[in-house]
């Protein structure tokens, strides 16, 4: 148990350092190529921070652990949206670009709705499950999202968010690749050891998926968005979360369903309702108070909702 705790702490340190490198490298890359920080956050950073979910879910799907698969993605998305944006928004109010308000946030809501209908098989008589065909549908939506991002790459020239840093191309890619390696490696260390500790304490598979693994695989998003918020880079902080949530549902679950068709427990619908409601709240927050900004009180409310719901889940298990 002591070794597992030490490895857990080591994984956390690796995550934070990896996030720091990734944000620095990605921001400088954006500046050098006149690509908006938002586009970088929605692609390179979002994919990098979603890599732990992808790895964990591919392994879980191949081992036929559907509750881990769905719990990881849906739990991670709720953690991203409510806890991470809540924490980042408490550090500094997050200004949100118009394209994020009207396009990316609604697209993340659409992804949740598509998953809800596909997994519950509302249009078929089959039991609730995510088939390989559904996986192709999710990946089709993911392709449409990537096409949209590609059209936005050189829209809205980014401001000087990285100060006077002028890294060489080699150093930029060293930071990005090293950061991604640190995030994936740190995420694996955290998840593996957290699950071992949780199982030793007798926690159920569903709760492990929705809490321990979901939070563990979302630590890269947490570290990246917190570092970005501290550096006053709201585009990376917001883009990372919204992009990761889209990646998690469309790419991670799409790939998971291709690995093996997955039975869906309708109990996860409650978590999908929370995700959808949280996304709607984020959208509406852009028109309450200062326009197109997530204020501290709104961020605090999101964090309180997440803590309250997680406490409720744990209490149900006791």
φ, ψ of residue 8 to 5 degrees: the values are -60, -45
Cβ atoms within 10 A of the Cβ of 152, count?
18
Question: pLDDT digits over 258-307, tens only?
Answer: 999 999 999 899 999 999 999 999 999 988 877 888 999 999 999 999 99
Please name the residue that has the structure tokens 């309250």. 308
Beta bridge partners of 263: 129
| Contact present, 88 and 226 (Cβ < 8 Å) | yes
CA-based radius of gyration for the chain:
19
H helical segments located in 121-159: 132-151
Question: pLDDT digits over 227-242, tens only?
Answer: 888 888 887 788 888 8
Residue 208 structure tokens: 């492990």
d(CA 121, CA 80): 26
> What is the C-alpha end-to-end distance of the chain, expressed in Å?
23
Residue 42 structure tokens: 């929605």
The rounded Cα 44 to chain-centroid distance in angstroms is 13
**Residue 5, pLDDT score:** 80
Domains and CATH numbers, the chain: 2-317 (1.20.1420.30)
* Contact partners, residue 78, CB within 8 Å, separation at least 6: 214, 271, 274, 275, 278, 306, 309
Provide the mean pLDDT of the chain. Answer: 84
Percent of the chain with pLDDT over 90: 33
Please name the residue that has the structure tokens 């500790």. 197
Question: pTM of whole model > 0.85?
Answer: no
**Residue 165, pLDDT score:** 62
**Residue 318, pLDDT score:** 66
Question: pLDDT digits over 137-184, tens only?
Answer: 999 999 999 888 877 665 454 444 444 467 888 898 898 899 888 877
Please say if the pLDDT value at position 191 is more than 50. Answer: yes
């Amino acid at each position: 148990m002591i070794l597992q705790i030490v490895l857990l702490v080591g994984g956390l340190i690796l995550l934070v350092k990896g996030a720091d490198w990734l944000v620095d490298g990605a921001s400088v890359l954006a500046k050098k190529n006149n690509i908006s920080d938002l586009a970088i956050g929605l692609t390179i950073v979002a994919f990098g921070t979603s890599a732990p979910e992808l790895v964990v879910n591919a392994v879980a799907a191949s081992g036929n652990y559907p509750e881990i698969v769905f719990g990881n993605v849906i739990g991670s998305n709720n953690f991203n949206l409510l806890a991470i944006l809540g924490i980042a928004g408490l550090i500094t109010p997050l200004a949100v670009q118009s394209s994020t308000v009207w396009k990316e946030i609604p697209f993340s809501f659409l992804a949740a709705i598509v998953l809800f209908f596909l997994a519950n098989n509302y249009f078929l008589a089959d039991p609730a499950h995510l088939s390989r065909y559904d996986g192709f549908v999710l990946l089709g939506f993911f392709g449409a999202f990537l096409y949209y991002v590609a059209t936005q790459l050189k829209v809205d020239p980014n401001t000087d968010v990285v100060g006077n840093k002028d890294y060489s191309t080699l150093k930029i890619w060293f930071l990005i690749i090293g950061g991604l390696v640190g995030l994936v490696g740190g995420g694996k260390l955290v998840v593996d050891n957290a699950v071992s500790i949780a199982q030793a304490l007798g926690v159920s598979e569903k709760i492990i998926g929705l809490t321990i693994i979901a939070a563990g695989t979302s630590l890269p998003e947490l570290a990246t968005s917190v570092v970005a918020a501290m550096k006053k880079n709201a585009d990376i902080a917001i883009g990372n979360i919204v992009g990761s949530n889209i990646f998690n549902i469309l790419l991670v679950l799409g790939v998971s369903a291709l690995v093996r068709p997955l039975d869906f427990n309708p109990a996860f619908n409650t978590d999908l309702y929370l995700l959808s409601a949280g996304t709607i709240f984020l959208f509406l927050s852009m028109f309450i108070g200062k326009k197109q900004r997530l204020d501290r009180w709104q961020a605090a409310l999101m964090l309180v909702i997440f803590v309250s719901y997680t406490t409720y889940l744990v209490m149900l298990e006791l």
